[in-house]
Amino acid sequence: MKCLIVDDEEVSRMVVRDFVKRSEGLELVGEFDNAVSAYEALQNTAVDVLFLDIEMPQMTGIELVQSLEKLPQVVLITGRRDFGAEAFEFNLTDYLIKPITYPRFLKAVEKAKQSIETSDQKLVETSSDDTLFVKADSKIIKLSLCDIYFVEALSDYMLINTLDKKYVVHSTMKALEKKFPDNFIRVHRSYIVNLEKVDTIEDMQIVMPQKEIPIGNSYKNNFLSKLNFL
C-alpha cells in the first residue's frame, strides 16, 4: 500500500516513517510538514493510506479531509484524545494517539488493508454474461466484455484496455481471471487477452492495435490450444 505522511512535527514524521519502513507491504511515497502541500500532491499522486496529523497551521488535517474529493484510507494522528469524534464522523480508518507504538500502528495498517480488500473492491460481477462493472475514478462504469482487448498488470493495479480507453482498477491478475469468460486467456504473467480480438501473431507476440503483447513460455501451449488452426 502506498503511504503518505502529513505532520508538522518532525519527530512524529520520523517515527511514522520508521514504522512504514519496518512494515511489509507498505511503501512511503512522500511526506509533508503541512496540509496545503499535501493537498497539492494528492491531486496528482495515488495514495492508499494517509497518515495525517490533525493540528497543523494554515490547514488542519480535518480541513484536508474535507477538501479531498476522493479519500484514501485515512489514519488520524494527534496528541489529543478529544478528536476521536471526527474520525467517526468522516468514517475514517483509525485514530492514533501520540506517542504512537508500533503494535498500535500495525493494527491501524491492518484496518486499512481490510477496508481496501472489502469495501473498496473495484470489480463487481453483473447478472449478464457479456458485461462487467468496474469501479474507477470514484465511478462505477459498465463495460461490454466484447469491447475489452486486453488486461495488463501495472504494479498493484490492473489496466483494462478497450480500443480507445483505459481503466485502472485495484485487483490482482488471479482475481480478474475468475471474472472473465473462457475467451479471455492468460498469455503472460502480466497479460490477459480477449481471444476474439486476436488477429495477428508474429514472433510469439500478439499484435494488438495498442501494443504488441508477448506470449510467455509457460502460457504458450494453453494459448495455442485455444486457436482454431487449419
> Is residue 153 a contact partner of residue 193, using CB atoms and an 8 Å limit?
no
- Domain 123-225 of CATH type 2.40.50.180: no
Task: Work out the mean pLDDT of the chain and round it to a whole number.
Answer: 86
Other CB atoms within a 10 A radius of the CB of residue 137 amount to 9
Fold match, 2-117 / 123-225: no
**pLDDT tens digit string along 39-48?**
999 988 889 9
Query: What is the average per-residue pLDDT within 148-177?
Result: 85
State the pLDDT confidence band at 22, using cuts at 50, 70 and 90: very high
pLDDT digits (tens, 9 = 90+) for 57-91: 889 998 998 898 888 899 998 887 765 565 566 77
- Please report, to the nearest 10 degrees, the dihedral formed by the alpha carbons of residues 104, 115, 21, 155 taken in order: 170
Report pLDDT digits (tens) over 164-220: 888 888 777 887 888 888 899 999 999 999 999 998 999 899 999 888 999 999 999
Fold adopted by 2-117:
Rossmann fold (3.40.50)
Band of residue 14 on the pLDDT scale cut at 50, 70, 90: very high
What does the pLDDT read at residue 29? 93
Q: How far out from the chain centre does Cα 189 lie? A: 19
Q: Which one of 12-21, 135-144, 165-174, 207-216 scores highest in mean pLDDT?
A: 12-21
- Residue 155 main-chain phi, psi, to 5 deg: 55, -120
How far is 78 from 87, CA to CA, in rounded Å? Answer: 11
In three-state form (DSSP H/G/I as H, E/B as E, the rest C), the secondary structure along 4-24 is EEECCCHHHHHHHHHHHHHCC
Phi, psi of 175 (to 5 degrees): -65, -40
What is the C-alpha separation between 135 and 122, in angstroms, rounded?
5
pLDDT at 118 over 80: no
- So where are the chain's domains? 2-117, 123-225
Q: Residue 121 — very low, low, confident or very high, per pLDDT cuts 50/70/90?
A: very low
Tell me the percentage of the chain whose pLDDT exceeds 70: 88
Environment class of 46 (CB within 10 Å of its CB; exposed 0-12, middle 13-18, buried 19+): middle
Instruction: Give the pLDDT confidence score for residue 120 in this predicted structure.
Output: 44
> To the nearest 5 percent, what fractions of the chain are helix, strand and coil?
30, 35, 35
Range among 17-21, 22-26, 144-148, 222-226 rated most confident: 17-21
Which grid cell sits at 33? 510538514
Long-range contacts of residues 126-132, Cβ cutoff 8 Å, at least 24 apart: 129/181, 132/179, 132/180
Q: Cell 447478472 belongs to which residue?
A: 127
